[in-house]
Chains A and B, each alone.
Chain A
Protein backbone atom coordinates (compact mmCIF):
# COMPACT_ATOMS: atom_id res chain seq x y z
CA UNK A 1 0.00 0.00 0.00
CA UNK A 2 1.55 3.28 -1.07
CA UNK A 3 2.18 5.87 1.61
CA UNK A 4 1.49 9.58 1.58
CA UNK A 5 3.13 11.26 -1.38
CA UNK A 6 4.15 14.90 -1.40
CA UNK A 7 5.46 16.86 -4.36
CA UNK A 8 7.68 18.63 -4.99
CA UNK A 9 10.23 17.55 -2.38
CA UNK A 10 12.37 20.64 -2.66
CA UNK A 11 11.76 24.04 -4.15
CA UNK A 12 13.27 27.50 -4.15
CA UNK A 13 11.20 30.63 -4.68
CA UNK A 14 11.76 34.34 -4.35
CA UNK A 15 9.82 36.80 -2.23
CA UNK A 16 6.49 37.77 -3.71
CA UNK A 17 6.05 34.59 -5.72
CA UNK A 18 3.47 31.96 -4.97
CA UNK A 19 3.83 28.22 -4.51
CA UNK A 20 1.55 25.20 -4.75
CA UNK A 21 2.31 21.96 -2.92
CA UNK A 22 0.58 18.67 -3.54
CA UNK A 23 -0.31 15.78 -1.25
CA UNK A 24 -1.74 12.39 -2.24
CA UNK A 25 -3.06 10.50 0.78
CA UNK A 26 -2.99 6.79 1.43
CA UNK A 27 -5.63 5.06 -0.66
CA UNK A 28 -8.94 5.07 1.18
CA UNK A 29 -7.97 7.87 3.55
CA UNK A 30 -10.34 10.80 3.43
CA UNK A 31 -8.70 13.37 5.70
CA UNK A 32 -5.63 15.39 4.74
CA UNK A 33 -4.02 17.84 7.12
CA UNK A 34 -1.07 20.18 6.59
CA UNK A 35 1.68 21.34 8.92
CA UNK A 36 4.53 23.83 8.84
CA UNK A 37 7.80 23.06 10.58
CA UNK A 38 10.35 25.80 11.28
CA UNK A 39 13.27 25.84 13.74
CA UNK A 40 11.71 28.71 15.67
CA UNK A 41 8.06 27.68 15.85
CA UNK A 42 8.32 23.92 15.65
CA UNK A 43 5.48 21.93 14.09
CA UNK A 44 2.31 23.94 13.61
CA UNK A 45 -1.09 22.87 12.31
CA UNK A 46 -2.11 24.66 9.11
CA UNK A 47 -5.45 23.14 8.10
CA UNK A 48 -7.46 19.96 7.68
CA UNK A 49 -9.52 18.92 4.68
CA UNK A 50 -12.18 16.24 4.75
CA UNK A 51 -14.74 15.51 2.07
CA UNK A 52 -13.42 18.41 -0.01
CA UNK A 53 -14.17 20.88 2.80
CA UNK A 54 -11.78 22.75 5.03
CA UNK A 55 -12.64 21.64 8.53
CA UNK A 56 -10.30 23.83 10.52
CA UNK A 57 -7.43 26.24 10.05
CA UNK A 58 -4.54 27.10 12.29
CA UNK A 59 -3.32 30.58 13.12
CA UNK A 60 -1.90 31.48 9.71
CA UNK A 61 -2.58 34.46 7.46
CA UNK A 62 -4.95 34.29 4.50
CA UNK A 63 -1.97 33.88 2.15
CA UNK A 64 -2.07 30.22 3.14
CA UNK A 65 -4.89 28.35 1.48
CA UNK A 66 -5.70 24.89 0.29
CA UNK A 67 -8.22 22.62 -1.29
CA UNK A 68 -9.12 18.98 -1.57
CA UNK A 69 -10.30 17.15 -4.64
CA UNK A 70 -12.88 14.40 -4.96
CA UNK A 71 -10.14 11.75 -4.92
CA UNK A 72 -8.93 13.15 -1.56
CA UNK A 73 -5.74 14.59 -3.02
CA UNK A 74 -4.98 17.97 -1.56
CA UNK A 75 -3.04 21.05 -2.54
CA UNK A 76 -1.90 23.96 -0.45
CA UNK A 77 -0.99 27.34 -1.83
CA UNK A 78 1.06 30.14 -0.34
CA UNK A 79 0.79 33.47 -2.12
CA UNK A 80 3.05 36.52 -1.88
CA UNK A 81 5.85 34.51 -0.32
CA UNK A 82 7.86 35.99 2.55
CA UNK A 83 11.27 34.95 3.84
CA UNK A 84 9.60 33.56 6.95
CA UNK A 85 7.63 31.08 4.87
CA UNK A 86 10.81 29.05 4.41
CA UNK A 87 9.97 25.79 6.10
CA UNK A 88 9.31 22.11 5.79
CA UNK A 89 5.67 21.57 4.87
CA UNK A 90 4.27 18.22 5.88
CA UNK A 91 0.98 16.66 5.06
CA UNK A 92 -0.68 13.78 6.82
CA UNK A 93 -3.55 11.53 5.94
CA UNK A 94 -5.94 9.65 8.16
CA UNK A 95 -8.74 7.24 7.49
CA UNK A 96 -11.52 9.39 8.79
CA UNK A 97 -10.76 12.60 10.66
CA UNK A 98 -7.71 14.22 12.19
CA UNK A 99 -8.59 12.58 15.49
CA UNK A 100 -7.52 9.24 14.07
CA UNK A 101 -4.07 7.83 13.48
CA UNK A 102 -2.04 10.09 11.19
CA UNK A 103 0.47 9.04 8.54
CA UNK A 104 2.86 11.65 7.19
CA UNK A 105 4.50 12.21 3.86
CA UNK A 106 8.18 13.04 3.37
CA UNK A 107 7.49 16.76 3.20
CA UNK A 108 8.15 19.62 0.83
CA UNK A 109 11.10 21.80 1.78
CA UNK A 110 10.51 25.39 0.66
CA UNK A 111 13.25 27.99 0.60
CA UNK A 112 12.27 31.60 -0.03
CA UNK A 113 15.09 33.92 -1.15
Chain B
Protein backbone atom coordinates (compact mmCIF):
# COMPACT_ATOMS: atom_id res chain seq x y z
CA UNK B 1 0.00 0.00 0.00
CA UNK B 2 0.86 3.66 0.08
CA UNK B 3 2.80 4.37 3.25
CA UNK B 4 5.04 6.92 4.88
CA UNK B 5 6.48 5.80 8.20
CA UNK B 6 8.51 7.96 10.55
CA UNK B 7 10.76 6.95 13.39
CA UNK B 8 11.22 7.42 16.22
CA UNK B 9 7.79 8.72 17.22
CA UNK B 10 9.28 10.69 20.12
CA UNK B 11 12.77 11.98 20.80
CA UNK B 12 14.06 13.75 23.89
CA UNK B 13 17.41 15.52 23.75
CA UNK B 14 19.61 17.81 25.74
CA UNK B 15 20.59 21.05 24.09
CA UNK B 16 23.69 20.56 21.97
CA UNK B 17 23.02 16.94 21.08
CA UNK B 18 22.69 15.63 17.53
CA UNK B 19 19.78 13.60 16.19
CA UNK B 20 18.64 11.65 13.15
CA UNK B 21 15.02 11.31 12.12
CA UNK B 22 14.02 8.69 9.60
CA UNK B 23 11.26 8.49 7.01
CA UNK B 24 10.53 5.27 5.09
CA UNK B 25 8.20 5.50 2.12
CA UNK B 26 6.59 2.98 -0.16
CA UNK B 27 7.31 2.48 -3.86
CA UNK B 28 4.46 4.67 -5.05
CA UNK B 29 5.52 7.71 -3.02
CA UNK B 30 7.89 10.32 -4.45
CA UNK B 31 9.24 13.85 -4.02
CA UNK B 32 9.89 13.77 -0.27
CA UNK B 33 9.62 16.92 1.76
CA UNK B 34 10.43 17.59 5.40
CA UNK B 35 8.48 20.03 7.55
CA UNK B 36 8.69 21.37 11.09
CA UNK B 37 5.39 22.23 12.73
CA UNK B 38 5.77 25.19 15.04
CA UNK B 39 3.76 25.60 18.27
CA UNK B 40 1.15 27.66 16.41
CA UNK B 41 0.51 24.89 13.93
CA UNK B 42 2.23 26.21 10.85
CA UNK B 43 4.23 23.73 8.78
CA UNK B 44 7.60 25.23 8.01
CA UNK B 45 9.25 23.91 4.89
CA UNK B 46 12.67 22.46 5.75
CA UNK B 47 13.70 20.53 2.64
CA UNK B 48 12.23 19.49 -0.66
CA UNK B 49 14.44 16.51 -1.36
CA UNK B 50 13.32 13.91 -3.93
CA UNK B 51 16.86 12.52 -3.89
CA UNK B 52 20.37 13.42 -2.81
CA UNK B 53 21.60 15.54 0.08
CA UNK B 54 20.90 19.12 1.08
CA UNK B 55 22.13 21.22 3.97
CA UNK B 56 20.78 24.34 5.60
CA UNK B 57 22.73 25.49 8.62
CA UNK B 58 22.50 22.90 11.39
CA UNK B 59 20.01 20.84 9.43
CA UNK B 60 20.69 18.47 6.59
CA UNK B 61 18.67 15.83 4.79
CA UNK B 62 19.43 12.86 2.60
CA UNK B 63 17.01 10.89 0.47
CA UNK B 64 17.97 7.55 -1.05
CA UNK B 65 15.06 7.10 -3.41
CA UNK B 66 16.18 3.67 -4.62
CA UNK B 67 16.02 2.36 -1.05
CA UNK B 68 12.87 4.31 -0.18
CA UNK B 69 14.10 6.27 2.82
CA UNK B 70 15.02 9.78 3.85
CA UNK B 71 16.96 11.04 6.86
CA UNK B 72 16.84 14.41 8.58
CA UNK B 73 19.89 15.34 10.64
CA UNK B 74 19.79 17.98 13.33
CA UNK B 75 23.15 18.95 14.78
CA UNK B 76 23.83 20.94 17.96
CA UNK B 77 20.13 20.98 18.78
CA UNK B 78 18.55 24.04 20.37
CA UNK B 79 15.37 24.42 22.38
CA UNK B 80 13.82 26.17 19.39
CA UNK B 81 14.16 22.93 17.42
CA UNK B 82 11.43 21.41 19.57
CA UNK B 83 8.22 20.52 17.82
CA UNK B 84 6.89 17.93 15.43
CA UNK B 85 8.76 16.98 12.28
CA UNK B 86 6.81 15.56 9.35
CA UNK B 87 7.90 14.02 6.11
CA UNK B 88 5.50 13.87 3.19
CA UNK B 89 5.49 12.68 -0.37
CA UNK B 90 3.18 12.65 -3.33
CA UNK B 91 1.52 9.66 -4.97
CA UNK B 92 -0.87 9.04 -7.85
CA UNK B 93 -4.32 7.60 -7.39
CA UNK B 94 -7.21 7.12 -9.79
CA UNK B 95 -8.19 10.75 -9.56
CA UNK B 96 -4.76 12.31 -9.82
CA UNK B 97 -1.96 13.36 -7.50
CA UNK B 98 -2.27 13.52 -3.73
CA UNK B 99 0.03 14.04 -0.77
CA UNK B 100 0.59 11.65 2.12
CA UNK B 101 2.19 12.54 5.45
CA UNK B 102 3.92 10.44 8.04
CA UNK B 103 2.63 10.55 11.61
CA UNK B 104 5.54 12.74 12.68
CA UNK B 105 8.42 12.69 15.16
CA UNK B 106 7.93 14.82 18.26
CA UNK B 107 11.25 16.33 19.31
CA UNK B 108 11.76 17.84 22.75
CA UNK B 109 15.02 19.69 23.40
CA UNK B 110 15.70 20.78 26.95
CA UNK B 111 18.31 23.25 28.17
Give chain B residues whose Cβ lies under 8 Å from the Cβ of A43: 86, 88, 101
In the complex, which range does the number of interface residues on chain A fall in? 20 to 34
Number of A-B contacts defined by CB within 8 Å: 65
Number of B residues, CB within 8 Å of A: 24
Query: Is the beta-carbon distance between B98 and A106 smaller than 8 angstroms?
Result: no
The residue on B at minimum CB distance from A3 is B42
A75 at the interface (CB under 8 A from B): no
Give chain B residues whose Cβ lies under 8 Å from the Cβ of A97: 97
Please measure, in the bound complex, the distance between the C-alpha atom of A63 and the C-alpha atom of B64, giving whole angstroms.
39
Q: What is the minimal beta-carbon distance from B96 to any residue of chain A, in angstroms?
A: 4
Which residues of chain B have a CB within 8 Å of any CB of chain A? 30-31, 33, 35, 40-45, 48, 86, 88, 90, 93, 95-101, 103-104
Known: A55-B97, A102-B99. 6 other contacts (CB 8 A): A43-B86, A44-B101, A98-B98, A99-B31, A102-B88, A104-B44
Jot down 11 A-B pairs with beta carbons below 8 A, ordered by A.
A33-B99, A35-B101, A45-B99, A56-B93, A90-B43, A98-B99, A100-B31, A101-B33, A102-B99, A106-B41, A106-B42
